[in-house]
Structure 1
Amino acid sequence: MGTKAMGRKSKPPSEAERIVLNAVLDLKAATPLTEQMLERRGSDVEVDSGRVQRLGGQCLQVLLAARATWKADGKRFLVINIPPMIVETLILLGVSTEDLTSLPETMA
């Protein structure tokens, strides 16, 4: 099996990299979240938001930018397990859950 530049083993094409989000996604969490996303660029990604209790604008921007990047790269970017209270926050911010998901053209 090949390795990526970061020294991690490559995933099979059908298996997405998984990121589990922290409970609090505030300003302090934005930089580490950005780094997590950059480490996985070029791979399909599944973001598990099931633990999220608070979502700030900065981390939302990171997720939206990552989604746009993955779409441009033709890679899958899914945010799963979005808690109802976070869906309400997204609505208040003018964002839908679909805005956080990107599927390659062949999968759409």
Structure 2
Amino acid sequence: MSETLILAEVLDLNAAQPLKAELLALRGHALTLDASAVERLGGLCLQILMSARKTWAADGVNLSLGSVSQYWTEQWAALGAPDFNNEGALA
């Protein structure tokens, strides 16, 4: 069974450490990220999320992105990040 982590509205420098801690506490569990409330996404939180994606893939556990806000979509693309649900997929 997959757990869901609802991401904070503001994922900036101040949110980085709490986000990292939440993800580490859920490591080893199938996880869906809910980004429907995100209004701002900063580079450090993006790096944490991409690192989590690689970690979950290396552990053989599913980590996926569920609902997203328009802000998430725009800022994810503006930061040049690859598609979250396909990044790290085995070729």
TM-score normalised by the chain length of structure 1? 0.76
Whose Rg is larger? 1
Counterpart of 2:3?
17
Q: CA RMSD in A?
A: 1.9
How far, CA to CA, are the matches of 2:77 and 2:38 in structure 1?
Answer: 16
Counterpart of 1:92?
78
Percent same amino acid at aligned positions? 37
Please tell me whether the aligned partners of residues 76 and 104 of structure 1 are also in contact (alpha carbons under 8 angstroms): no
The one of 14, 19, 39 equivalent to 1:33 is 19
Counterpart of 1:101?
85
More helix by share: 2
Aligned residues: 90
More strand by share: 2
Structure 2: gaps spanning 5 or more residues: none
The one of 57, 63, 68 equivalent to 1:71 is 57
User: What is the letter of the counterpart of residue 8 of structure 2?
Assistant: N
Higher relative contact order (CA 8 A, sep 6+): 2
TM-score normalised by the chain length of structure 2? 0.89
State the secondary structure of the residue aligned to 2:68.
Answer: coil
Structure 1: gaps spanning 5 or more residues: 1-14
What does the per-residue CA deviation read over 1:26-77, in whole Å, with 9 as the maximum and x for residues that have no partner?
A: 0010000000000011110111000000000111111000000000001100
How far, CA to CA, are the matches of 1:91 and 1:49 in structure 2?
Answer: 14
User: What is the letter of the counterpart of residue 101 of structure 1?
Assistant: N
Please tell me whether the aligned partners of residues 38 and 71 of structure 2 are also in contact (alpha carbons under 8 angstroms): no
State the secondary structure of the residue aligned to 1:101.
Answer: coil
